Each structure stands twice: as C-alpha cells, then as structure tokens.
C-alpha cells in the first residue's frame, strides 16, 4: 500500500513535477505541481476503480464550460506510479481559501456580496449544463487573483433517466445546491451554521439567505436580486451616452463590481496587521502595493476627519458648559443688546440630532461598549456597523444623558438576548459584552 507522500517528486506524463502533498481525500491526493518553466498549478490524482472514463468525462465537460467563477481544469488524463493506476486533473492554483478567512472573522457586506454573486453564477452554469455540485461549503470557495471561484473537480452529472434518476430527483439535487448556497452565505456573514429570525444581514442578502435556505427562491431569482444593486450605476456614470453608445459603455460597468468589494473591504479594516487576512489575491505585488498606498492615504484622511469631528464636539461641549453656568452680577447688568447674539448661536443646536441617543422601549439589551459622550458612542456604533452589519449596533441612553450604551440588535426578550450575546462574542465582540433589562 502506498502513501500519497510517496508520490512527491514524481513526474506526470513527462510534463509536470509533483511537489508537496496539499491534502488527501480518500482515494484522492492533491499536490502542488510545476511544469518545466516553473508555471504553478494544482494536480489531483485519483486511484482508478474502474470508473476512469466516467470521471475523465466529467472533468472534460467542466473544462469546456470556461465559466470565470469555476476553478479551471487545464488538462486531464491517465498515469501510473509503481503499478498504481491513476487519473489526474491539472487545475489552476488559488491565492486564498474562504474557510481560512472565516476562522478569523466574518466577511464584510461587500465581500459577502462578491462571494454570493460568484457562487450563484458558477451554479447557474453547472445546472444549465446538466451537472450539480453537492459540495457548497467555505472550504471549496477560493480567490484566484481578484476573482472568487468555486471548486469544479468534485461536480457530477445529474441527468434524468428511466432506470436510476427521475426528473424530480435531479430537481431536488439542484434545490439542495441552492439551500447550501444560503447556508454558505449565512456562515460568511455571521459565522453561524443555523438560520434563525434574529439574524440581521445587509441588503440584499437579508432576502437571499432565508429564501435560499427555505427553498422559496430559485437560482435565477437569486441572481436577479443580487444584480439589482448595480442597476443605477450606468445611469449615474454616463446618463447621456447610455442609449447612444451601448457597446462602449457596457463593458466598464460589467467589470467594476469584480474589484470594488475587495478594495472596499481592505479600506474598512482598522488594523494594518489584519489587511493580509482579507479574502483577496496575494500574487499581483505591484497592484497590491498601489492598493495599500491608496488604503493608507484613505486611512489618513479618515483619521483627520475623525479628529476634526471630535475637536468640534469638544468645542460644542465646552461652550454648552460655559453657557449653562450662572452668570455673575456684573454680567447680569450687561446690555440687553447681547441677547440676540446668544439666540443666534443657539439656533444651530438641532444639528446635533444625528448623534443623539436613541429612545428605546424597556426590555433586554446586549451592550458591547459604554461611553460618557454621545458622539464617541455613535462613532463606535458606525464603525461596528461597517464590519458587523448583522449585529445592528445602535446608541441609546435610558436616562437621556451619560452613560451612553452601544447596544446590539435593539430591544428583545431574555432568551433572544442570550442567543445574541453568544453570537456577538463569537463574532469578535469584547468578552465583557453583557446583557441587561433596562
């Protein structure tokens, strides 16, 4: 009996040298591989069990699809090492794996939408060609360059026949793929494996995920819902040329969504050391350095804007404190003409309404942070919303003044608060996040 590691260093058909064993799955071994020019790829070897032709046929069918969101299969064939008959598939190498990313953090709203669109398009191509995937999970989703791709070497044909599989049986397998797509997106956004009504997701995933899991949406409907967010972009970009030159204006619009989510997710990261964890490519060094330079510039601008806001809030707070103090007798005798000036300054005060604490009904709350100033609490809530939209962070103050709480999910019952507290901690909220009945 051979071990898969025994094949490291072997040459397949005189073209590709097998490198390190990446992983094994039963009778399958996956190796890094390189040709004589150093071109990198991934090689799958499968022990032959009298099904070689069937397996090679599936791989060749996938290879002819040429769908950009399916991992490409470049070459297939048969070989043998030390008397062991094998089939092989040469596949394009990847830059990142979704499962590794989710071990550290959930995806941002932009990243989640990018994964949703990519996997949906890949499944539509497979289903339209009489195939099903049956393995929709984070470990089988990859980033290749700037493109999110679904593993393609594990698909199988699903064609109705009179002897083994009915048309309804095929339809059920396709529905299972859609169900697994919903579970995948739920895991991406919340790190949860089970859907429940308390889950809050960004638009349009909050409609797509439950519909896919519950079986009320088809792939075509999901594809339409995911694409609606981009519809206004051509009008905003070139309203006067949309009808005059459709062939010229259409390609830039179609290309834009591929890179935007990844770039937006990188800017949203607060800590520089976490930038490498983004579900993004790692091979285009020059593009990455340019992107990082733009990210640094954006962060500096955001820091400057944030400091300006804090400074302005501090001035407003000091002014209010001074204006609220009792005036000495000398000031009481001041000319009455000064009153209009005070009235004019007081008029802009309604501008502070956006950072005022939210008035909420009594009930259970999950509190992640506490501040003495409403502006600081609101800034933290906005920052959390950008990263964890599903937690629905908001600011409230039961007393109408300090302390100001950054709470998650709004008012709820005690069991709902306990469930949300556990989910918040798993999503990276502080370990001292607590629940209380206000």
Nearest to 408 by CA among 426, 423, 394: 394
Between CA 56 and CA 244 the distance in angstroms is: 48
Give the burial class of 228: count Cβ atoms within 10 A of its Cβ; 0-12 exposed, 13-18 middle, 19 or more buried: exposed
Instruction: Assess whether pLDDT exceeds 60 at residue 339.
Output: no
- What's the pLDDT tens digit per position in 343-381? 344 444 444 444 455 555 578 888 888 887 888 889 888
Question: Cβ atoms within 10 A of the Cβ of 271, count?
Answer: 7
How many structural domains does the chain have?
A: 3
Q: Are residues 153 and 43 in the same domain?
A: no
pLDDT per residue as tens digits for the range 12-55: 988 899 999 999 998 999 999 998 888 899 999 999 888 899 99
Domain presence at residue 12: yes
Per-residue pLDDT, 251: 40
Per-residue pLDDT, averaged over 165-176, amounts to 91
Work out the angle at residue 429's Cα, subtended by the Cα atoms of residues 357 and 416, and round it to the nearest 5 degrees. 75
**Please, are residues 5 and 21 in contact by the beta-carbon 8 Å criterion?**
yes
Q: Residue 412 phi/psi, 5° resolution?
A: -155, 175
- The H or E element spanning position 103 is none
Q: How confident is the model at residue 80 (pLDDT cuts 50, 70, 90)?
A: very high
pLDDT tier, 324 (very low <50, low <70, confident <90, very high otherwise): low
Task: Tell me how many degrees the CA angle 278-120-125 measures, rounded to the nearest 5.
Answer: 125
Which range marks the domain in which residue 194 is found? Answer: 96-230
Mean pLDDT of the chain: 78
Q: Note the pLDDT tens digit of each residue in 415-435.
A: 888 888 877 777 777 767 888
pLDDT at 331: 42
pLDDT at 212: 96
Indicate the SS3 state at residue 260: helix
Tens digits of per-residue pLDDT, 185-220? Answer: 999 999 998 988 788 899 899 999 999 999 999 999
- β-sheet bridge partners, residue 404: 371
Q: Please list, in sequence order, all residues whose beta carbon lies within 8 angstroms of the beta carbon of residue 86, skipping any fewer than 6 positions away.
A: 45, 46, 47, 48, 78, 79, 80
Tell me if 180 sits within 8 A of 137, measured CB to CB. Answer: yes
For residue 63, pLDDT over 50 is answered with yes
Residue 329 placed within a domain: no
Are 26 and 146 members of one domain?
A: no
Alpha-carbon distance 212 to 222, whole Å? 8
Would you call the peptide bond into 309 cis, given omega within 30 degrees of 0 as the criterion? no
> 202 and 118: one domain?
yes
Q: Is 372 left (phi over 0), alpha (psi -120 to 50) or beta?
A: alpha
Q: Are residues 82 and 148 in the same domain?
A: no
Domain termination site, one of 73, 91, 109: 91
The pLDDT assigned to 336 comes to 40
Instruction: Please report whether residue 239 resides in a domain.
Output: no
Between 296 and 247, where is the model more confident? Answer: 296
The band of 271, judged by pLDDT with boundaries at 50, 70 and 90, is: very low
Residue 135 has pLDDT above 80, yes or no: yes
Q: Residue 69 CB: number of other CB atoms within 10 A?
A: 21
Q: Indicate whether 177 and 201 sit together in one domain.
A: yes
Q: Residue 12 has what pLDDT?
A: 93
Instruction: Average the pLDDT over 77-96 and give the result.
Output: 93
State mean pLDDT over 153-179: 88
Within a domain: 269? no
Are 190 and 111 part of one and the same domain? Answer: yes
Spacing of C-alpha 264 from chain mean position: 11
Q: What CATH number has the domain bearing residue 195?
A: 1.10.510.10
Residue 352: its pLDDT value, please? 40
pLDDT at 257: 41
pLDDT tens digits, one per residue of 246-261: 443 434 333 334 343 4
203 within domain boundaries: yes
Predicted TM-score of the model (pTM): 0.56
């Amino acid at each position: 009996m051979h071990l898969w590691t025994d094949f490291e260093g072997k040459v397949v058909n005189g073209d590709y040298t097998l490198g390190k064993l990446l992983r094994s799955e039963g009778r399958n071994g996956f190796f890094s591989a390189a040709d004589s020019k150093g071109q990198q790829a991934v090689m799958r070897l499968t022990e032959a069990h009298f099904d070689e032709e069937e397996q090679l046929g599936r791989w060749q069918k996938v290879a002819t699809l040429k769908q950009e969101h399916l991992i490409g299969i470049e070459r297939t064939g048969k070989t043998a090492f030390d008397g062991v008959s094998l089939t092989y598939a040469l596949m394009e190498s990847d830059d990142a794996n979704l499962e590794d990313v989710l071990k550290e953090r959930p995806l941002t709203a932009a990243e989640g939408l990018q994964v949703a669109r990519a996997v949906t398009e890949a499944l539509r191509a497979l289903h339209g060609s009489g195939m099903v995937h049956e393995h929709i999970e984070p470990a089988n989703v990859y980033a290749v360059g700037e493109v999110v791709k679904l593993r393609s070497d594990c698909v199988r044909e699903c064609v109705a026949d009179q002897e083994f599989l009915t048309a309804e049986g095929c339809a059920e397998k396709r529905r299972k793929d859609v169900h697994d797509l919903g579970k995948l997106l739920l895991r991406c956004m919340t790190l949860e494996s089970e859907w429940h009504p308390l889950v809050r997701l960004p638009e349009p995933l909050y409609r797509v995920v439950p519909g896919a899991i519950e079986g009320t949406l088809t792939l075509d409907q999901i594809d339409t819902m995911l694409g609606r967010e981009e519809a206004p972009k051509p009008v905003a970009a070139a309203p006067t040329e949309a009808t005059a030159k459709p062939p010229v204006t259409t390609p830039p619009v179609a290309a834009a969504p591929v890179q935007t989510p990844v770039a937006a997710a990188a800017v949203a990261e607060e800590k520089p050391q976490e930038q490498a964890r983004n579900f993004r490519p790692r091979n285009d060094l020059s593009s990455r350095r340019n992107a990082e330079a733009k990210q640094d510039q954006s962060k500096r601008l955001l820091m400057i804007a944030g400091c300006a806001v804090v400074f302005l809030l501090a001035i407003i707070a000091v002014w209010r404190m001074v204006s609220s103090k009792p005036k000495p007798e000398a000031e009481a005798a001041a000319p009455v003409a000064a009153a209009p000036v005070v009235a004019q300054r007081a008029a802009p005060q309604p501008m502070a309404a956006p950072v005022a604490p939210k008035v909420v009904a009594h009930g259970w709350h999950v509190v992640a942070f506490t501040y003495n100033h409403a502006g600081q609490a609101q800034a933290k809530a906005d920052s959390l919303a950008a990263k964890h939209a599903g937690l629905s962070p908001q600011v409230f103050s039961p007393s109408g003044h300090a302390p100001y709480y950054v709470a998650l999910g709004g008012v709820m019952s005690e069991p709902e608060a306990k469930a949300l507290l556990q989910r918040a901690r798993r999503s990276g909220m502080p370990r001292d996040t607590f629940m209380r009945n206000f």
